[in-house]
Each structure stands twice: as C-alpha cells, then as structure tokens.
Amino acid sequence: MVRAFGAAFVAALLSVFVVAAPAAPAAPPEVAARAWLLVDAEDGEVLASRRPKRSYPVASTTKLMTAYVARERLGLGQTVVAPAYVATTAESLLGLTEGERIEVRDLLYGLILASGNDAAVALAEAAAGSEAAFVRRMNRAAKGLALDDTSYANPIGLDEPGNFSSARDLVDLTLELREDRVFRRIFDAPEAVLRSGARSRTVVNRNNLVHTVPYVNGVKTGYTLGAGNVLVGSAERDGVQLVSAVLGAPSESERDAATLELLDYGFSLYERRRVLSDRERLAAPGVRWQDETLPLLSAQAVRLTVRRDQEIDVRVAAPGEVEGPVDRGERLGRATVTLDGEPAERVALLAARSVGEATVLERFDAAVPGSRVIAWGIAVGGLALLFAGALALYDRRRRGGSVDLPRA
C-alpha cells in the first residue's frame, strides 16, 4: 500500500543529455540528378535536398497517385474487366487482354512492380468510368494532399503537357501511401505471382535496389525521354525509415547510385544511444514517519536510434513521499523518454527495497518535534530520582534513622 502526500504525484523534470554534443556530420552528397530530396519518414525532417519544390516530368512515378486514387475507389478483391489498350513501342505492360477479368489487388502489383501502363488504364476506367474522369480525381487528390507542385494529365506518366511533380510532392505522396500496409507490402516485394487473371503471371519489381540491398523497401521507378530516370526510394535500418526521390538522373545505374548515396548519408546521421540503464536510480521520495528515502529504479534499459541533432530528455513522475508498507519491486511512478519533446518510450519506476509499516514510536516521534529529547529527559530524570531515593534509603538504614524521600 502506498500513499502520496504534500504535492501528491510530483512530476520531477529530469533533463538528461545522454551524450556530449556530437561532431558535425558530413555535408550532404551532391548526386547526378536534376533534383532530389531525402527525409526522415518519422518526423518529416529534410536531411538532404536540391531543388525539392521544382516541378519536372516524373514518368511512371505518376502511377503512385494512380494507385492512391484506385485504392480509395476500389476494393482489393473487386474484379475489373480490362479495357482495350493499344501500346506503343517499348511501353511497360502487364500484358492484359481486352475483356480479361482480374482483381484490383493483382492490378496494383502489376502497376507498381511491373509498371504496367495497361494496368493503370484498367484501374482508371474501373474507378472513374474513363481516363479523363480519373485524371480529374487524381488532381483533386493532389490538391487535397497539398501537393502544390503537381499536376496530372494521364494515369500512366507519359510525357504530356500538364503532367509533372516535384521531389517534395513525390516524397509526401509516398509517406501517405506508406501509411497503408498493403502498399508497404507491394513496394517491398521483389516479385509477385498474380493468379486472378486469364492466366497466372509472375511480375518482377523493376526497382533493382529492392532485389540487391537488404534494407531498401521501395518504392517506384520511372523513365521517359522528358523525365530522364526517376526513382522514389525508401529504406529502413535500426528502426529509422527514410524516403528519397531522385529526378532526372542520366542513367539507371546513376539513378540507383544516387538513391543509395542519399540513403546511406541519411543513415550516417543516426546513432544508437543508451538513454537509461536497467535498474537506474531516477528518484528517491521520502518515507513518511521514517527518517529515510526510498530509491526508485527504472524497470528496464532504454536504447534509441536518434538523429545527432535531436535532444533526448527523461521526465520522471514519482510521489514526493510514500508510506509503508511498500513491497520491493512495487511500481511507484513512471519515466518518460522524450525525443525533441515528443514521447518516445515509457518505463515504470520500481521500489528498490521493501519498507515496513511505521511503528507507534516512529509516528509519535515524527508527529511531535523533539519528542525523543523529551522522552530521554523524562527517562534520565526518573532514573536520577530513583538513584537519589536509593541513596537515602541506604543512608537511613545505615544510621537507623528516618529520612524524607525526595518526591518527583
């Protein structure tokens, strides 16, 4: 049983800078591309950029918005009838035949992994009745997501006036898509087997980095003569999720190299820090009626992967005073680890030892100031009187006379 007194459950703010100020990080890389952007997916912090708000043709990364709108309008298990699609030379296709029935889930895999232009048109017509109506929905969605540097003219990403975006908007759209675990699964798939169409198909992710780099988990490639090589990338390492966009790289290899250089630079800005040790003493409230304190210990260690410019604090909420009985290991508060002021981890505070219930004498002593001095004075005075009486009695017996005993 525990009671809190006085200030009740006192929030004792304990700011702990876990490590000394780190050395300044290396400068962001300069990569071979028209524009690029790298952000922390957790807090949106920009880690590196060049022309992030300038609009360019973005080729098949347009299909990210196609996927977004189709997902809003269509169920994953819904069956779509493929429309006729006349492809030009060198288009990327899923290989649909007119009238083929295929599920939306498979079309999304074909849209993102294989970058199928026919899959984009099939989804557009199923979701809005026509490509033109679907493009209007794409532009309304862009406005709703505050993608101010973006405009769509087709659901595929073909070079066409009015079809463009920016590195900033592509990253923001990707962050929105990554909120959906269906898209996270699609982006990270090296390949997929599609079984719902007229025939079974195996589609392979055109993003080579998903195949070759273990920590890369997306997102979408693109290429046209007007856009050059485009790649929206994403990666996770030690709990840190980054999203990048590279626009207008001269070649696929330079596009991939630029993306990896940005992602590796981003990860270099983070480090693993021990914020709290297991059973670390974080508070010591007084024990009522007893002249002692009770140490409160962290229930577990806390380690965080943090960016070098982020501030870590530990805020301790614990009683200002406790009253026994208290069991060893009893929970008596909480420590909250904050990262740039936002809660990152919470840990219980545990009693380091047991505390017994206060005795009557301890309560009396605590309630009456100086009570022990008074009690000792009374005891000493009583003993003095007894000693004096004993001396008088002895003297009387020795002399055979009488004597008046001193009275207390």
Here the tokens at position 9 are 């459950």
pLDDT of residue 8: 43
Q: Which residues are catalytic?
A: 60, 63, 115
Per-residue pLDDT of 263-284, as tens digits, reads 999 999 998 889 899 999 999 9
pLDDT of residue 27: 87
Whole-angstrom Cα distance, residue 344 to residue 363?
Answer: 42
Q: Which helix (H) or strand (E) holds 67?
A: helix 63-73
Rounded mean pLDDT, 328-355: 91
> Are 108 and 70 within 8 A, CB to CB?
yes
Specify the range with the lowest mean pLDDT, choosing from 122-131, 387-396, 399-408.
Answer: 399-408
Residue whose structure tokens are 């599920």: 103
79-81/46-50 β-pairing: unpaired
Mean per-residue pLDDT of the chain: 87
Per-residue pLDDT of 75-91, as tens digits, reads 999 999 999 999 988 89
DSSP string, 172-208: HHHHHHTTSHHHHHHHT-SEEEE-SSSS-EEEE-S-H
**b/e sequence 358-382, b meaning 16+ C-beta within 10 Å:** beeebeebeeeeeeeeeeeeeeeee
Rounded mean pLDDT, 132-146: 98
pLDDT of residue 392: 63
Decide if pLDDT at 13 tops 70. Answer: no
Per-residue pLDDT of 26-75, as tens digits, reads 789 999 999 999 999 999 999 999 999 999 999 999 999 999 999 999 99
Per-residue pLDDT of 296-313, as tens digits, reads 999 999 988 888 788 889
